[in-house]
Amino acid sequence: MLSINAGGQPQSTDPIDGDVVVSLRNLKTYFPGPHLGVWPWSGRTTVKAVDGVSLDIRRGQTLGLVGESGCGKTTVGRSLLQLVRPTGGDVYFERQNLCKLSNKELYPLRQRMQIIFQDPYASLDARCTIGFTISEGLLIHKLVTPNEVQERVAELMVTVGLNPAFRNRYPHEFSGGQRQRVGIARALATNPTFIVGDEPISALDVSIQAQIINLLRSLQARLNLTLLFISHDLRAVRYLSDSVAVMYLGKIVEIAATDKLFAAPQHPYTHALLGSVPRASWSQASAARVELTGDVPSPINPPSGCYFSTRCPQVMPICREQRPALVEAQPGHKVACFVINDAVEAA
């Protein structure tokens, strides 16, 4: 399911398997951090929000990206779509390297890759009717003639479970779940092949979350969508994804097929993450838990060696000195940890 070229080396010339819609090669996105001193000329620190992420997403599949707040998962989604220009690395979307394209050249491609934002309150323009919000992409990319717009908007609203009669209403007239449906309709409007879902359900109530998850699943099956599902909710990720990547401080620490990752997690961080999820069922409530101490370190001043070494229950001396590389532990299951294997990351 998860294809990662042997050796894990980014091969920029290799024509990636035609089935792979999106692939990231050593993606890096850095942001300027706080100033080191009080003077305008004193230097600035660098926040390495995404630090060398490589992954592939195959057509019709969902890759779940999990991690705690500040680990860079949202930045991966945004740099992938070039909403933030990456600092380094390559992003291939249907064999085109997006990082090498100008904004103008990207324009026609945007029709095929869309995003659903986290906050349904902030991501809709309060001064536009939802009908206009949904139709904007259609008109910009000239996908329909002005006469057909209303028809297509109505069709989209039905697809996501909204009453088309509401098209002239404004976002404040809708509940959170309904607004998220508008956000999904907007993303679907241009017939994209690939959608980034950036925490699309985390702002919603439990019963509404279930509605949106079911909607995403049925849409994906019907339209053969490829999804990058970004979430901190492991339960939702497990439910929606075919494979899962776990991020910690800008790096992927483990990536595998969903069933494999949840059945046999390898990295100590994945272990702790899975153990932290509250369980509502009584059958397995007594499973042994790894409780982590402390907080996630700051990405401005990450620990030397493995980034997880400050909180890792199985830490070894080498972990504090060198950085483990993400290599295959089992076929299709990659882990970056010295406890599992001793590959060192190239500087």
Q: Which residues of 203-235 are buried (b: 16+ CB within 10 A; e: fewer)?
A: bbeeebbebbbebbeebbeeeebbbbbbbbbbe
Output the smallest distance, CB 311 to other proteins, in A.
Answer: 8
6, 207, 288, 331: which one contacts other proteins (CB under 8 A)? 207
Grouping H, G, I as helix, E, B as strand and the rest as coil, residue 135 is helix
Q: How many residues bind other proteins (CB under 8 A)?
A: 46
Binding mask 273-292 for other proteins (x = CB under 8 A): xxxxxxxxxxxxx---x-xx
Which CB atom, from 91 or from 272, has the smaller least distance to other proteins?
A: 272
Output the smallest distance, CB 293 to other proteins, in A.
Answer: 7
DSSP code at position 42: S
Which CB atom, from 234 or from 325, has the smaller least distance to other proteins?
A: 234
26, 30, 60, 68: which one contacts other proteins (CB under 8 A)? 68
Closest CA to 338 of 312, 300, 303: 312
Which CB atom, from 41 or from 282, has the smaller least distance to other proteins?
A: 282
Output the smallest distance, CB 77 to other proteins, in A.
Answer: 18
Which CB atom, from 92 or from 269, has the smaller least distance to other proteins?
A: 269
Instruction: State the Cα–Cα distance between residues 139 and 152, nearest whole angstrom.
Output: 11
Binding mask 229-248 for other proteins (x = CB under 8 A): ---xxxxx-xx---------
Whether 333 contacts 259, CB under 8 Å:
no
Instruction: State the Cα–Cα distance between residues 306 and 326, nearest whole angstrom.
Output: 11
Output the smallest distance, CB 151 to other proteins, in A.
Answer: 27
Half-sphere exposure at residue 185, Cβ-oriented, CA atoms within 13 angstroms: 29
173 part of the interface to other proteins, by CB under 8 A: no
Which CB atom, from 97 or from 175, has the smaller least distance to other proteins?
A: 175
Whether 76 contacts 255, CB under 8 Å:
no
Q: In what order do the strands lie in the sheet with 96-97?
A: 44-58, 20-35, 88-93, 96-97
Grouping H, G, I as helix, E, B as strand and the rest as coil, residue 309 is helix
64, 177, 200, 302: which one contacts other proteins (CB under 8 A)? 177
Q: Which residues bind other proteins (CB under 8 A)?
A: 68-69, 175, 177-178, 205-211, 213-214, 217-218, 232-236, 238-239, 258, 262, 272-285, 289, 291-296
